[in-house]
Amino acid sequence: MPPVPARLPSVYLPHGGGPCFFMDPMPGLPPHAWDSMARYLRGLAAGLPQRPWQILVISAHWETAVPTVGASPRHTLLYDYYGFPEHTYRLQYPAGGSPQLAQRVRDLLRDAGISSVADMQRGLDHGVFIPFMLAFPDADLPIVPLSLQAGLDARSHLAIGRALAPLRDEGVLIVGSGMSYHNLGSFFGADPRDQMAARQFHDWLDQQVAHAAPQQRAQALESWQKAPGALACHPRAEHLLPLMVVAGAGADDPGRLAYRDQVLDKDVCAMHFG
């Protein structure tokens, strides 16, 4: 392992909608709907205190009964989106894996009393390779995926993140890939009540993540469903739960709002810790 002069942050980022950054806008949508998110993703690596030597990623698109760690030295891609242009099913991202990091992740989870299993087959889903094609376009950093735990319990995912916090001092960038607004039933609509719910929930996220003390932050995130607009933004929690892992890995470091904008008049954001 190379020298590690600085602790890396843990990062919760938005991964967009399907292969949105690599296609023309869908009919009827604004032509620049995803531009600001793409700019944030392209600038992510330059804003880190040092170049990571490996990445651990928790995607909203992988759920298992037991926390599962991708341990293969090579990755295929899962084009797990539907109805998009043909060329988006030929996108490539040839990043390798890291069995050594996978084992380190499992050891840390074991030491925290959390059972896990290894997976040698599953590829990288679009919640990984689509944003990483912008954030880390050279595909030269080994990637280890970690699943969400079925049940989508916030406290469990915060605990997983806390167990993995030492990786940040070992040159590993911990990334949670989701969307801070993910209600597909209302995302493409123009109901002002949905817009207000998104604004209220993101104001709450900003207050509880970027301005609260770490203990208060954890308590608030455990009860995120009680936040204003929360269930309107997340009828199901899978796109928010990567934030819990990342916040847990943030430990006692402060959080900050690294990006906030609107897509189709719905607030979206990224959060960094440390």
CA angle 80, 44, 229 (to 5 degrees): 65
Q: pLDDT of 183-239, one tens digit each?
A: 999 999 999 999 999 999 999 999 999 888 999 999 999 999 999 999 999 999 999
Taking 70 as the threshold, does the pLDDT of residue 5 lie above it? no
- Model-level pTM greater than 0.95? yes
For residues 135 and 38, the answer to whether their CB atoms sit within 8 Å is: no
Query: Average pLDDT of the chain?
Result: 96
What type of residue sits at position 98?
A: S
For residues 67 and 115, the answer to whether their CB atoms sit within 8 Å is: yes
For residues 77 and 93, the answer to whether their CB atoms sit within 8 Å is: yes
Distinct helix (H) and strand (E) counts, the chain: 9, 8
For residues 37 and 86, the answer to whether their CB atoms sit within 8 Å is: no
Mean pLDDT of 164-180: 98
User: Structural domains in the chain?
Assistant: 10-273 (3.40.830.10)
| φ/ψ (deg, to 5) at 126 | -70, -20
Which of 60, 153, 172, 40 lies closest to 105, judged by CA?
172
Torsion of CA 253, 256, 258, 262, to 10 degrees: 140
Q: pLDDT of 47-93, one tens digit each?
A: 999 999 999 999 999 999 999 999 999 999 999 999 999 999 999 99
Strand ranges of the sheet holding 143-149, from the earlier edge strand across to the other edge: 117-119, 68-70, 143-149, 54-64, 172-178, 10-14, 266-273, 255-263
Q: How would residue 29 be classed by pLDDT, with cut points 50, 70 and 90?
A: confident
Taking 70 as the threshold, does the pLDDT of residue 4 lie above it? no
pLDDT at 94: 98
Outline where the chain has alpha helix (H).
35-43, 99-111, 126-135, 154-164, 184-187, 192-205, 214-222, 230-233, 241-249
Q: pLDDT of 87-103, one tens digit each?
A: 999 999 999 999 999 99
Q: How would residue 115 be classed by pLDDT, with cut points 50, 70 and 90?
A: very high
pLDDT at 6: 87
Say how far apart CA 9 and CA 174 lie, in whole Å.
7
* Token code pair at residue 232: 């309107």
What type of residue sits at position 194?
A: D
Q: How would residue 27 be classed by pLDDT, with cut points 50, 70 and 90?
A: confident
What is residue 104's three-state secondary structure? helix
